[in-house]
């Protein structure tokens, strides 16, 4: 039988998870963990329930909360996707995060699955990941060695590998509040319209300066590499250039060239590469279209 712990504070949780004798596993929404536990008929020596920790809950505005000094929306890692998609701050400032949250599983899953779990589980197809890459989020990690803040873009080290140290947890996600006028786009290509794992999932964030040029372009993409990743080539193809067909084509070509997707049970490498390029192209064209 597993030993189960319901810590009263984040500090207690970290102490439990840092105890090698205990060999405890953190659990939150359980929407991935329970599937595997049951399919593999595996059990755990000990589990630490994070759902009850107030420090991991809530979505709030924090002035000067990010490393860059500007305001951030700070999201507790145990926030469910139902909470995220309904949150007024998220809907106003981070609409693509609300959009992504609404595409994860369906109602039942959104009521349970947490954003911290989605990231820590480290699936290359996690739908919140490209959004947080495009928004250049930071993660507040808490572990036996204390608290540290890391840019999310450096979080994934390889297939299902993250820089979380043993006993370390994601406590909060800090998303810099995009400056007014920032354009955000999200597109998920799943196996179907709901309850779907992504075949390609793409998010974009950028500004269109008064001179008509694109600045601060960031693309985050999932399901085309062992980890969710940025599209640096596509970003460079857009940065400082006018929105329009030429830029769109260049960005699309760059995106297709910089990813190495695979064939699997859900889709094909050829499809993923082609569709990624087409979606990059569409997003850049849409920037030009809603120029106003």
Partner 1 sequence: MQEAIAVSDTVRFTVNGEPRCWQGEPMARLLDVLRYELGLTGTKEGCGEGECGACTVLLDGEPVCACLVPMLQCEGRAVQTIEGLGGADRLEPVQRAFVEAGGVQCGACTPGLVLTAWALLQREPRPDRARMREALAGNLCRCTGYERILRALEHTIAARQGGGAPAAGTGEATP
Partner 2 sequence: MASTAAPPGAVGKSPPRPDGPAKVTGATRYVDDLALPGMWHGATVRCPYPAARLLRLDPAPALAADPEVVVLTARDLPGPNVIQLIADDWPVLAAERVNHACEPVALVAAPTRARALAAAARVVVEAEELPAVLTLDEALRGDPRAGGQQPLVLAACTVERGDVEAGLAGADLIIEGSYETGHQEHIYIETHGAIGIWHGEEAGLEVIGSLQCPYYVHKALVRLFGLPPERVRVRQAPTGGGFGGKEDFPNVICAHAALLSRRCGRPVKIVYDRHEDIIATTKRHPSRVRHRTGVRRDGTLVAQDIEVLLDGGAYVTLSPVVLSRAVLHAGGPYRCPNVRIRGRVLATNTPPNGAFRGFGAPQTQFAAERHMDRIARALGLDPLAIRERNAYRPGDVTPTGQRLDASTNALECLRAAAERTRFRERWRAIERERARGRPDDGQPWQGIGLALVWHGSGFTGDGERRLGARAGVRLLPGGRLEVLAASTDFGQGTSAVFCQLVADAAGVPLEQVQVHEPDTAAVPDSGPTVASRTVMIVGGVLQRAAAQLRARLLAFAAERAGLKAERLRLVGGQVLDPQDRVVASFAELADAYLAAGGEASWIAQHQPPPEIRFDEKTYQGTAYPAYGWCCDVVEVRVDPDTLAVRPERVTIAADVGRAIHPVLCAGQLEGGTLQALAWGYLEEIKLERGRYLNDRLQTYIIPTVLDTPDMETILIENPTPASPSGAKGVGELPMDCGAPAIVAAIENATGIAVHALPASPERLLEARRAGQVVQPQHAGA
Residues near partner 2, by CB under 8 A: 39, 41, 106, 189, 191-197, 200, 265-268, 270-271, 274-275, 278-279, 281-282, 285-286, 289
Minimum gap (Å) between residue 88 Cβ and partner 2: 25
Q: Indicate which of partner 1, partner 2, none lies near residue 15 (CB less than 5 to 8 Å, by partner kind).
A: partner 1
Closest residue by Cα to residue 76 from 186, 143, 175: 175
Minimum gap (Å) between residue 191 Cβ and partner 2: 5
Measured from the CB atom, the residue of 42 and 180 that comes closer to partner 2 is 42
- Using rule CB under 8 A, residue 8 touches partner 1: yes
Tell how far CA 46 is from the center of its chain: 28
Q: Indicate which of partner 2, partner 1, none lies near residue 230 (CB less than 5 to 8 Å, by partner kind).
A: none
User: Residue 14, SS3?
Assistant: helix
- Using rule CB under 8 A, residue 54 touches partner 1: no
Q: Indicate which of partner 2, partner 1, none lies near residue 215 (CB less than 5 to 8 Å, by partner kind).
A: none
- Using rule CB under 8 A, residue 77 touches partner 1: no
From the list 20, 38, 146, 179, which residue makes contact with partner 1 (rule: CB under 8 A)? 38
- Using rule CB under 8 A, residue 86 touches partner 1: no
Q: Indicate which of partner 2, partner 1, none lies near residue 44 (CB less than 5 to 8 Å, by partner kind).
A: partner 1
Minimum gap (Å) between residue 256 Cβ and partner 1: 32
Minimum gap (Å) between residue 129 Cβ and partner 1: 19
Minimum gap (Å) between residue 170 Cβ and partner 1: 19
Measured from the CB atom, the residue of 38 and 179 that comes closer to partner 1 is 38
- DSSP string across the chain: --EEE--SSHHHHHHHHT-TTT-EEEESS-TTHHHHHHHTT---SEEEE-TT-GGG--EEEETT-STTSS-EEEEETT-BHHHHHH-HHHHHH-HHHHHHHHHSS-HHHHTT-BHHHHHHTT-TT-SHHHHHHHTT-EEEEEETTEEEEEEGGGTEEETTEESPPTT-EEEEEEEEPPPTT-EEEEEEEESSSSS--EEEEEEEEEEE-TTSBEEEEEEEEESSSSS-EE-HHHHHHHTTSBSSHHHHHHHHHHHHHH------SS--HHHHHHHHHHHHHHHHHHHHHT--
Tokens 């739908």 — which residue? 127
Minimum gap (Å) between residue 142 Cβ and partner 2: 32
Residues near partner 1 (CB under 8 A): 1-8, 12, 15-16, 19, 22, 27, 29-31, 34-35, 37-39, 43-44, 47, 49, 51, 82, 102, 105-109, 111-112, 193-195
């Amino acid at each position: 039988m597993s030993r189960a712990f319901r810590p009263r504070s984040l500090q207690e949780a970290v102490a439990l998870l840092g105890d090698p004798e205990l060999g405890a596993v953190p659990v939150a929404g359980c929407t991935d963990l329970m599937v595997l536990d049951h399919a593999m008929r595996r059990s755990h020596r000990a589990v630490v329930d994070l759902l009850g920790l107030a420090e991991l809950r809530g979505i709030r505005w924090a002035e000067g909360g990010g490393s860059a000094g500007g305001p951030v929306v700070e999201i507790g890692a145990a926030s469910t996707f139902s909470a995220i998609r309904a949150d007024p701050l998220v809907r106003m400032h981070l609409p693509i995060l609300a959009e992504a949250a609404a595409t994860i599983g369906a109602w039942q899953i959104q009521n349970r699955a947490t954003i911290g779990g989605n990231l820590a589980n480290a699936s290359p197809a996690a739908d919140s990941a490209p959004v947080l890459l495009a928004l250049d989020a930071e993660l507040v990690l808490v572990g036996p060695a204390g608290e540290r803040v890391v840019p999310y873009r450096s979080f994934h080290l390889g297939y299902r590998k993250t820089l979380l140290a043993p006993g370390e947890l994601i406590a909060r996600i800090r998303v810099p509040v995009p400056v007014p006028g920032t354009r955000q786009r999200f597109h998920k290509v799943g196996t179907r319209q709901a309850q779907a794992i992504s075949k390609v999932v793409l998010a974009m964030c950028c500004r269109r300066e008064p001179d008509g040029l694109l600045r601060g372009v960031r693309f985050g993409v999932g399901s085309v590499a062992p980890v969710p990743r940025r599209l640096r080539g596509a970003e460079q193809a857009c940065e400082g250039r006018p929105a329009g067909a030429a830029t769109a084509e260049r960005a699309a070509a760059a995106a297709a060239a910089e990813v190495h997707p695979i064939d699997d049970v859900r889709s094909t490498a050829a499809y993923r590469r082609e569709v990624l390029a087409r979606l990059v192209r569409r997003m850049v064209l849409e920037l030009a279209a809603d120029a106003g």
